[in-house]
Structure 1
Amino acid sequence: MVEYALKPIGYVEVGLPRPNEPDRGRYATRYDFIGVVRVYDEYVDGLLGLEEYSHVMLIYIFHEQREVRLRVRLKGTDKEVGIFATRYPLRPNPIGLSVLELVKVEPPRLWLRGLDAWTGTPILDIKPYDYYDVVKKPRVPREFEEEWVRSYIEKGYGEKVPWLGPCP
């Protein structure tokens, strides 16, 4: 088996407040939050042209996650599934991926709406989101679809993040 060593290209300078932090209550959803990623100076040239995109994919490390589980219970249900059927952080390789709205680029910083990583989170890569990344009608489990519809209505996703969700 081959092992890989990855070097962060930056870090989350202003991250989503943790559940126990006082500022957390200011945000009804993560999409109400605009966070800041700082790219290390040696990688700043790699940001050239990124401002032409509306969204990016941010790849990062769940750097404080120590526990690994291969099976988990879906939030709000009794259904047990494998970790690879979720986006939960309890993974063998604690890598996170988020699609985020690119609000502003001022090298070495990016302002990202919906950033769901904590301050200090190491960033592995940034990729532009483009037409190759769109799946118009993905198949998802019934429980996920029900949760999405609830969130869409209760959390106002239709207005806050109109780019998310199934395409007609």
Structure 2
Amino acid sequence: MRRRLITGLSSAAIALATTAALAAPANAADKLQVMSDWSQTSASSQQAFLNARANQGDWSEYGFDWSTDKCSSSPDNPFGFPFENACIRHDFGYRNYKAVGQFDANKSRLDSAFYEDLKRVCNGYSGAQKTACDGLAWTYYQAVSAVGVAPADTAAKTGKAA
């Protein structure tokens, strides 16, 4: 009888520990890996991010900042070219890498992923439209590459809220 009680208690303790481990918040290394997965230059990385953004609640344990000002003071869809999602993913990368103190180490990749996202938009066009889109994509990329900063940095420098 005593052996069954101990075995039963042990099984219950293991089940409780397993449940607690599965319900535990994500650790910093996990969060960085997810952020990295969502900020690569590939189309699959972009799609994974867009899927996650559509299901933000599934990622709540990570405490991501999903806020965005889209393409900041530039048009989100210049001349009808839909750059908005590229800007949203770029904002996500800037905000979240800044929040974990890893922005400087990842800025170049975030900007490159942004440019690849823009070029994928442009690949849907041909002729003069593609040429115009490619030119705008290059301009947007150059702007963030040269002067892009996290919104919190801008607020700190100007004394205004982001």
Q: What is the TM-score when the length of structure 2 is the normalising length?
A: 0.24
Bigger fraction of residues in strand: 1
Q: What is the TM-score when the length of structure 1 is the normalising length?
A: 0.23
Q: Which structure is richer in relative contact order (CA contacts within 8 A, separation 6 or more)? A: 1
Bigger fraction of residues in helix: 2
